[in-house]
Structure 1
Amino acid sequence: MTTLYLFGSAAPPVLGVAAVVEEAQRRGFDVCLGLTPTAARWLEPQVAGLERLTGHPVRSDYRLPGAADVWPRAEVILFAPVTFNSLNSWALGLTSTFVVGVCAEGTGKGIPLVAMPCVNEAYARHPALGRSVAELRALGVSVLYGEGGFQPNPPGERHEYPWQAALAEVERVAARRS
């Protein structure tokens, strides 16, 4: 079984992460769930159930120095939904949150990484987004943004988040590594 770190930040699709975990498990992944601090607050009532579902603690903080790692080693990482803030932080190497730090380190370790943003059209117009997507792609991250991935919606509107595309890409990059 391949170990998948599934990371999410505080965007509406994270609220349905349990179904994504179940689908990833059906596809043969051992899922470890990590969240930004805000996403962890959003999902606080679901954490115990998510831990039972995954069989691993849900993490949103770095472990203490000298503490044992409670997760198996990542073989592939999916960061979805990844917000404007988290995507830009990752591209700039600003690792103030656990999940961004693991992703930044993962590029250096050669772990296959997939990211799928969740931003509205207003954020998409900001030049930092395009620069960050390009930077992450240059680092070898498969960023599903634009055709075939996430496409921004007008502020206040919600469209279906393309989780199936993200999981298909995780399977593709994981198989390529094998």
Structure 2
Amino acid sequence: MAPGVRLMQKVSSTRAFARIAPHLVPAMDRTVHRLTRGKVLLSARMLPGLILTVPGARSGQLRTTPLACMPEEGAERSWVLVGSNFGRTGHPAWTANLLAGPDKAVVNWRGRDIPVHATLLEGAERDEVWRAALKFWPPYATYQERVDREIRLFRLRGRGGS
């Protein structure tokens, strides 16, 4: 485990972090990502991260969101996204956008744009991935305890020549 990860897990489980991080972390990530032409994502120093671009569910305007992800091993490129919203009440907007346009999403992974298909995970498949997510980043358990909603999990798979 990288130095400081345990401390970051502890800090990220606090309610204060949940209030501040959604405003600070994405703004910093977007700025650094843009300035480095997609080569650096600050939050990826702690967890792997990608930039998700998907049309808004209502507006249709492209929405770009830096997100932590769980890259999956295997023959095809795929990632799991956890809609934890830092343990805040509502689902994050990007999850509604993926539900509305599962084949309209693109991820920027390590400076490369990759068109993806998004699948909302449910049932036994979701349970299995949730267990993996808790091993990957234990604070997700704290986030789930704080909210009445089930945290959405999505699997993104490369599509069309990716």
TM-score scaled to structure 2, two decimals?
0.29
Higher strand proportion (structure 1 or 2): 2
Higher helix proportion (structure 1 or 2): 1
